[in-house]
Amino acid sequence: MTEKTICERVENNLLFLYLVSETSKAGRVEDDLKAQKLVFLSQKQLVQKKLKAFNYTFLRWHKGPFSKDLANDIKSLVKAGMLTRIGDKISLTDAGKEIVARCEELLTKQPEFIVPIKAVAQLYGGIPSDDLKEQVYDISVFVPRLKKIMKIRDIEEKQLILYGLSARKARKAFNLDENWQATLELVFDKEALDSLKMAQQDAVEGRICDFDSI
């Protein structure tokens, strides 16, 4: 399973930036391992409340819950200039902080989704990555393929252990209107944004192409 729509990807990215922002108030996202665990814990809380927000698929991997889509999104956000790495530490850039600030009203208007994410950041932000890994190992989850509840440490690798809710099964879904989606889609896609900036500059300087003449 992968992120199913562009809208889900944009929502995932925005909520991850918010999670990093809140975690930085209580501690830090010291590496990708901790990033994976913080998102897993946040999404698990949301799924239990039947809230559709983070939409990642997590497998039991050799260091606990892991989502390939999340790993790819982190790389994309670094490339887009929203996140920076100093060593393994993941932090918001000034551009990332600006996005979270600009979306503050959008986020605070949906407290059902934001409160669980903020609680995870406050509770686990100051815990070292390896210690958090051990705590997550002791969490019990329902393993769909085996149809039973098990501690994560006892589950074999590559087993599905968490996935995002479908709109049909969710009690409520995080709301990102079309204007915000379009804006954030460009912001989170550096190549598309750079292309748009180049086109705008060409238009200003009179280099715009007349397609009817081609």
User: pLDDT per residue over 84-126, tens digit each?
Assistant: 999 999 999 999 999 999 999 999 999 999 999 999 999 999 9
Residue 200 has a pLDDT of: 59
Which amino acid is present at 72?
N
Residue 186 has a pLDDT of: 86
- Using pLDDT thresholds of 50, 70 and 90, give the confidence band for residue 192: low
**Which residues face 160 on adjacent strands?**
59
Residue 197 has a pLDDT of: 59
- Using pLDDT thresholds of 50, 70 and 90, give the confidence band for residue 196: low
pTM as predicted: 0.88
Could you state, in order of their start, the residue ranges of all structural domains in the chain?
6-208
Residue 187 has a pLDDT of: 87
Contact (CB, 8 A) for 40 and 65 = yes
Beta 148-151 vs 140-143: how paired, if at all? antiparallel
Report the C-alpha gap between 141 and 40 in whole angstroms: 11
User: Under 8 Å CB-to-CB from 48, ≥6 apart: which residues?
Assistant: none
Of 73-87, 91-105, 151-165, 196-210, give the lowest mean pLDDT range: 196-210
Residue 52 has a pLDDT of: 96
Helix/strand/coil for 60: strand
Length of the chain, in residues: 214
Question: Is the torsion defined by CA of 188, 191, 196, 198 positive or negative?
Answer: positive
From residue 36, give the alpha-carbon distance in Å to each of 27, 58, 62, 125, 137: 15, 9, 13, 13, 13
- Using pLDDT thresholds of 50, 70 and 90, give the confidence band for residue 210: very low
Report the C-alpha gap between 144 and 149 in whole angstroms: 9
Residue 201 has a pLDDT of: 66
